[in-house]
């Protein structure tokens, strides 16, 4: 051990300065480390970083890509907001991917059942069905947890694999496009106006799912600040014992948190299938449910933070694709880059709650 060591000292309360400064610091550190990685791969690091972080926002094609950021961030934010409520209360739903898939299947199933009826009510009913599908899938781990004390992390995770099998069954079987010549995949919603999740302003990327994400952010903020349930969630997470004395019913809390997160994930899936994705296909699930977990943490389980984290995450996806296409960076390098960003964000977060002290001699 060296003579000088770092020592962490807990702050009495989280530092307001570092709370905002750490994400910026993490992004800067990622740029340095990522730049080194890109240079190692024989690419111009400055150009690569600029392509990822600058071009989607202000580059030549920003008029298109800014909208795409919303398309990519919408489902991430919607799912992450739901998850964050449970995470705060110590309820670990990490199977949002499965709930997202089931929401899409339910939502799409309702619409395809009445195809080609044109009715204004179809889309709202699809939203409800999508939310219901996700809720239902989340209720399985919730009920098993409350009834049998089964670990919800694993049950919800296992159900992701089950949902993926149901999805491939839907694409090749019960939701398959009868006019698709036997190919897998449902009808495309782009040719079914009543069920289409339209882009609200052309080129903006704004669709109903993005709107729902914004509403969810506001609702979650209000819930946590003003509502009894929000108080119970925070209490259960910080002091489970005290929560019980304060009359928080753990069963009810589990069912509420899992239900909300499942319903939001299901809605996200439904908006995606009726909008950007356009159809139920074997590869419909693209990992939003898992990425949203990371987004929830990057946003510090805070609705506003999740909004920003979702946008940053979307930026690395969209910008990463640009770098991959234009600079020939392997897509794996972009994945590594995203991993680094997460590492740094998680790592420097320590500065929010702890003070770094340089001490002489051995560390504790």
Candidate ranges 24-32, 123-131, 180-188, 222-230; the one touching other proteins (CB under 8 A): 180-188
Task: List the one residue from 202, 247, 358, 360 that touches other proteins (CB under 8 A).
Answer: 202
The residue written with tokens 């600029």 in the block is 50
Task: List the one residue from 31, 49, 52, 71 that touches other proteins (CB under 8 A).
Answer: 71
Candidate ranges 46-54, 87-95, 123-131, 211-219; the one touching other proteins (CB under 8 A): 87-95
- Which tokens go with 249? 């019913």
In the bound state with other proteins, the residue whose beta carbon lies nearer, of 68 and 232, is: 68
Task: List the one residue from 203, 218, 227, 228 that touches other proteins (CB under 8 A).
Answer: 203
CB of 172 to other proteins, least distance (A): 6
In the bound state with other proteins, the residue whose beta carbon lies nearer, of 267 and 293, is: 293
Candidate ranges 114-122, 126-134, 146-154, 240-248; the one touching other proteins (CB under 8 A): 146-154
CB of 331 to other proteins, least distance (A): 4
Question: What is d(CA 124, CA 22) in angstroms, rounded to the nearest whole number?
Answer: 41
Task: List the one residue from 3, 148, 241, 247 that touches other proteins (CB under 8 A).
Answer: 148
Interaction residues for other proteins, span 284-313 (CB under 8 A): 284, 286, 290, 293-294, 297-298
Q: Does 151 bind other proteins (CB under 8 A)?
A: yes
Q: DSSP alpha helices (H): ranges in the chain?
A: 16-40, 45-49, 55-58, 62-88, 96-113, 122-148, 152-169, 208-226, 228-238, 240-245, 250-274, 288-298, 303-327, 331-348, 350-353
Query: How many angstroms separate the Cα of 297 from the Cα of each of 74, 85, 300?
Result: 16, 11, 5
Interaction residues for other proteins, span 205-264 (CB under 8 A): none
CB of 16 to other proteins, least distance (A): 19
Handedness of CA 329, 333, 334, 335 (dihedral sign): positive
Tell me the angle at which helices 62-88 and 228-238 cross, rounded to the nearest 10 degrees: 70
Candidate ranges 59-67, 116-124, 214-222, 262-270; the one touching other proteins (CB under 8 A): 59-67
Task: List the one residue from 1, 3, 16, 332 that touches other proteins (CB under 8 A).
Answer: 332
Residue 247, Cβ density class (10 Å: 0-12 exposed, 13-18 middle, ≥19 buried): exposed
Query: How many angstroms separate the Cα of 238 from the Cα of each of 89, 118, 142, 220?
Result: 8, 50, 21, 18
- Which tokens go with 206? 């704004």
Candidate ranges 13-21, 22-30, 168-176, 254-262; the one touching other proteins (CB under 8 A): 168-176
């Amino acid at each position: 051990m060296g003579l000088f060591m770092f020592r962490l000292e807990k702050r009495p309360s989280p530092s307001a300065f570092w709370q905002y400064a750490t994400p910026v610091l993490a992004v800067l550190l990622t740029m340095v480390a990522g730049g080194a990685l890109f240079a190692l791969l024989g690419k111009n690091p400055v150009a690569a970083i600029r392509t990822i972080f600058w071009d989607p926002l202000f580059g030549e094609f920003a008029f298109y890509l800014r909208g795409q950021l919303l398309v990519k961030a919408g489902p991430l934010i919607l799912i992450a907001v739901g998850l964050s409520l449970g995470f705060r209360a110590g309820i670990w739903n990490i199977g949002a991917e499965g709930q997202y898939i089931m929401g899409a299947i339910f939502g799409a199933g309702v619409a395809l059942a009445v195809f080609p009826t044109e009715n204004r009510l179809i889309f709202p009913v699809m939203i409800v069905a999508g939310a219901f599908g996700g809720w239902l899938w989340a209720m399985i781990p919730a009920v098993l947890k409350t009834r049998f004390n089964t670990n919800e992390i694993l049950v919800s995770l296992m159900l992701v694999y089950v949902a993926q099998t149901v999805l491939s069954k839907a694409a090749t079987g019960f939701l398959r496009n009868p006019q698709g010549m036997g190919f897998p995949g449902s009808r495309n919603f782009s040719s079914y106006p009543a069920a289409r999740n339209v882009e609200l302003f052309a080129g903006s990327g704004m669709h109903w799912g993005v709107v729902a994400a914004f509403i969810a952010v506001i609702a979650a903020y209000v819930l946590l600040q003003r509502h009894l349930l929000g108080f119970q969630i925070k209490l259960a997470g910080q002091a489970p014992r005290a929560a019980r004395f304060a009359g928080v019913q753990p069963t009810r809390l589990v069912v509420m948190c899992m239900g909300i997160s499942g319903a939001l994930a299901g809605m996200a899936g439904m908006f995606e299938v009726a909008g950007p994705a356009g159809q139920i296909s074997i590869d419909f699930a693209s990992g939003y449910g898992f990425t949203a977990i990371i987004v929830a943490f990057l946003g510090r389980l805070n609705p506003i933070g999740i909004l920003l984290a979702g946008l940053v995450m979307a930026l690395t996806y969209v910008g990463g694709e640009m770098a991959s296409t234009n600079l020939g960076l392997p897509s794996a390098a972009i994945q590594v880059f995203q991993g680094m960003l997460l590492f740094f964000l998680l790592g420097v977060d320590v500065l929010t709650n702890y003070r770094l002290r340089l001490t002489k001699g051995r560390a504790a």
